[in-house]
Structure 1
Amino acid sequence: MEGTYILRGGRARRQPEHFTRDRYFRVEIFRATIDTQMAELNLKFNEKVMDLLSINATLIPRNGFLSFQANEICRSVEKYYPMDFNEQDMIAVEHQLNHFMVDASSSEDMKNIETVVQLCQSLVGTG
């Protein structure tokens, strides 16, 4: 594995002097694999899905909802669901989200919640 690895069947001009087989298998193939996986993920998770996932992550009440931002959620609602909410509904949603943050950050029941599933179960349980 410590022998020199020669790229593309012959010595490449830009190949480093000490390009070993070990480096090829540990680094270069690893990089190629990560690049391939990233390309697949970028095809499966477009900008809209990533935006919704990041908004979803802000709903987890870690550290007293430090990452929670009502205006970002409202912006996403306006962007992705414009036909479902009129201007008055959007104002009501923003007020409700702000009230939720105040109530949830002071609730003892929500301090141990770590996932969105647990958050939904807690909200259903409290009515």
Structure 2
Amino acid sequence: MDAQYVPQGRSRRFAKQATNLHHFRVDIFLEVIDLHLQEIDNRFNEKNMELLTCMASLSPRGNFSSFDKERILKLASLYPEEFSCYDLTALDLQLDVFLDSMQNDERFHDLQDINSLSMMLVKTRKHETFPLIHLLIKLKLILPVATASVERVFSAMTFVKNKLRNSMGDQLVNDCLVTYIEKEVFLQVSDEKIIDRFKYMKTRRMNL
């Protein structure tokens, strides 16, 4: 690794004089690390980090050691259609009772994630006692799935609605996206069933 680095496929005159150790550590390894850090910064900006921090405040790990009522209320305020001003006030009252109830119940002491917390709340029927908290937990559980689904749709849209098909209507775009994204499901449908579907949609002069 202390030997002089020899570039492959290009002249040595234009290559930077460095050892093999410097080349692989600085020019390759650290360069890749910087690219990963830049990608993480682009994906997890300040708002996303704040959202993740608020979501972590409901984690049951360590007997709810990261519980933070203010952050949980802030998380609920991000769903105005689900939590009205009255609901936020009721949620504030529920959170105080919720923490005491969880820490005094041995069935909730060994939980490690929000998924197990949701299942234990239903199992012990405490989701009926704390309906707003259970609603917030459900919204938190579906958020990663919803986010991934949206990114999947936008990624597929670059293939479906390209420059050659830029004038597509909303309904046609929606239909094409569904068939493109769920291609594994549609591949199970036989050509005969598709033909029969179009044949019986309206009367035609010729049989398909």
Task: After TM superposition, give the deviation of residue 93 of structure 1 in Å.
Answer: 0.9
Structure 2 equivalent of residue 9 of structure 1: 15
| Same amino acid, percent of matched pairs | 33
Please state how far the C-alpha of 1:107 moved relative to its aligned partner.
1.0
Quick one: distance in 1 between partners of 2:75 and 2:93?
A: 15
Q: Residues 43-99 of structure 1, C-alpha deviation per residue, up to 9 Å, x if partnerless?
A: 333444333322222222222212100111112322x22354332221111111221
With normalisation by structure 1, the TM-score equals 0.75
Distance 2:45 2:121 in 1: 30
Letter aligned with residue 121 of structure 2: L
Counterparts of residues 52-67 of structure 1 (less than 5 Å) = 52-67=51-66
User: For residues 86 and 60 of structure 1, what CA distance do their matches in structure 2 show?
Assistant: 24
The question of whether the paired residues in 2 share the 8 Å contact of 1:5 and 1:21 is answered with yes
Counterparts in 2 of 1:1-127, with a 5 A limit?
1-5=1-5, 9-10=15-16, 20-78=19-77, 80-127=78-125
Report the count of equivalent residues: 118
TM-score (norm 2): 0.49
Structure 2 regions of 5+ residues with no counterpart? 7-13, 126-208
Q: Which has the higher contact order (CA 8 A, sep 6+)?
A: 1
Q: Which structure would you say has the larger Rg?
A: 2
- Unaligned ranges ≥5, structure 1: 12-18
Letter in 2 for 1:59: L
